[in-house]
Amino acid sequence: MGAVRGLFDPARDGFGIRNPIGMTPERNGGEVLLRRLDSFLYGGGLCFGMAAAALANYERPTSPFPLAALPLAPDLLGMLRGYHARQTRPGVVVAAVRDWLRARGGRSEGVLDRLRLPGESPDPHVLNFGPAANGSFFRCLYRAHAVVPYRVEAGGEERRLYVYDPNYAGDRGRYVSFRGGEFGYGGFSSRDGWGVTLVPLAEIVDTARPLAGAVV
């Protein structure tokens, strides 16, 4: 297991910068296809890369970088793009599809029972809001969003899953509400056609290695 430094804290273990939306790589010449691919992959932000990098940094066996203090310098931006692009790797895609099928099309029933949290497991999950098996599949696929789940609280019929959301740097109050077989989190909810999938960190990164490109 990686270094255990208490509960994952978005204000300490997450990035202090907000998810950089629309910052696609600059390409010269006639690379039209690459620019279109960049727009699709990076145009909506780097949430998956930020979630994976923050979770990997937390789980490292050596002292982590203080991510909250890092400015959005070119080397950090490049590193986050690299982590973000890993969502297209075959192993990550297979893991996401397997979990989506296991959940009968991204349904939320049982997701909290399968979920592995940082500090409690050597292979915690990144949680993705994405498509369910319905007519909103492609809309949700294009607008998919990733967060780091780190704590579950139960009260009455509701269970709250607290998350680090790269769109809200340092915010400790973000949570996904699970109730009656449905979930809701801001604009992401099962009633609006969204599903959830879990991706193991081990499929994304090697937590024994430092974050390449990070500068203290």
Going from N- to C-terminal start, the domains of the chain cover 10-203
Question: Is residue 106 over pLDDT 80?
Answer: yes
Q: What is the mean pLDDT of residues 39-58?
A: 85
What's the pLDDT band for 44 if we cut at 50, 70, 90?
A: confident
- For the chain, the straight-line distance linking the first and the last C-alpha, in angstroms and rounded, comes to 24
Calculate what percentage of the chain has a pLDDT beyond 70. Answer: 81
The count of other CB atoms within 10 Å of the CB of residue 8 is 24
Question: Is residue 39 over pLDDT 80?
Answer: no
3-state SS assignment for residue 149 = strand
CB 150 within 8 A of CB 142: no
CB hemisphere CA count around 73 (13 angstroms): 10
Question: Is residue 63 over pLDDT 80?
Answer: no
Place of tokens 């809309």: 139
Nearest-CA neighbor of 61 among 135, 18, 1?
Answer: 1
pLDDT of residue 66: 79
Question: Is residue 212 over pLDDT 80?
Answer: no
In angstroms, the CA 97 to CA 5 distance is: 32
Place of tokens 């969502």: 87
Q: What is the mean pLDDT of residues 10-29?
A: 82
